[in-house]
Amino acid sequence: MPQILKVDTSDPDLWDNIIKKTQKVLKGGGVIAFPTDTFYGLGADPYNKEAVNKIYEIKNRDRNKPLLLLIDSVVKLDKLVEEPSEASTKLIDTFWPGPLTMLFKPKSSIPEYITDDLIGIRLPGNSITRKLLSALNHPLTAPSANLSGEDPTTSAEHVKDCLGNKVDLILDAGICKGGEPSTLVDTTKNPVRLIRAGAISFTSIQESLNETLETQELL
């Protein structure tokens, strides 16, 4: 069974130990489970193709579905995407950090195996997730920590029961709130296209952009 580490950011020594163990797993091409805004996600180094392949194998995920990335700061977008659109900038200002995933045009340096012409990125609202990403100093993949088609997981024990030894490490930060997944929008389109309904309502996004959205349920 995977190792489960109880996350405690209030203890610097314990937190440092968690980060070192997490880095070791990720550098070795392993997969971790960790909390996000709504559910536990599966994290791998997006620049390690074998690790990314493991994510698809663990979830039995359709290879045509690209993996989104989590970042800890808007500044990190500069290394990942081409110039963000005016609409994406508005949405970033309004909804980040939070459960809004946006599609951007990736820079040529981004591996093709984590994009589908576009790349999905989110700045999570969960402060522990952001602190983890900041300490690792690189993005993480974050599909839900469950088998495709099954209910997403909201606790470390739930992940263990669902995936067992398919993951290498589980970071236990308590219960995630669950609910709707992140809302997904394509900010490369004009008007912005709504790809997947989620935790942030269409109406709120529409009001933020002050325009009518074109909806397309693709996911």
SS3 string, 123-190, reads CCCCHHHHHHHHHHCCCEECCECCCCCCCCCCCHHHHHHHHHHHCCEEEECCCCCCCCCCEEEECCCC
Can you give the pLDDT at residue 219?
42
> pTM higher than 0.85, yes or no?
yes
Q: Please, how many CA atoms are within 13 Å of residue 65, restricted to the half-sphere of its CB?
A: 15
What CA–CA distance (Å, rounded) separates 41 from 38? 9
CB contact at 8 A, 133 and 71: yes
pLDDT tens digit at each of 219 positions of the chain: 789 999 989 999 999 999 999 999 999 999 999 999 999 999 999 999 999 999 999 999 998 888 999 999 999 999 999 999 999 999 999 999 999 999 999 999 898 888 889 999 999 999 999 999 999 999 999 999 999 999 999 999 999 999 999 999 999 999 999 999 999 999 999 999 999 999 999 889 989 998 644 544 444
CA-based nearest residue to 6, from 171, 135, 176, 175: 171
CATH of region 3-215 = 3.90.870.10
Where are the domains positioned within the chain?
3-215
The SS3 call for residue 50 is helix
The pair phi, psi for residue 6, each rounded to 5°, is -75, 125
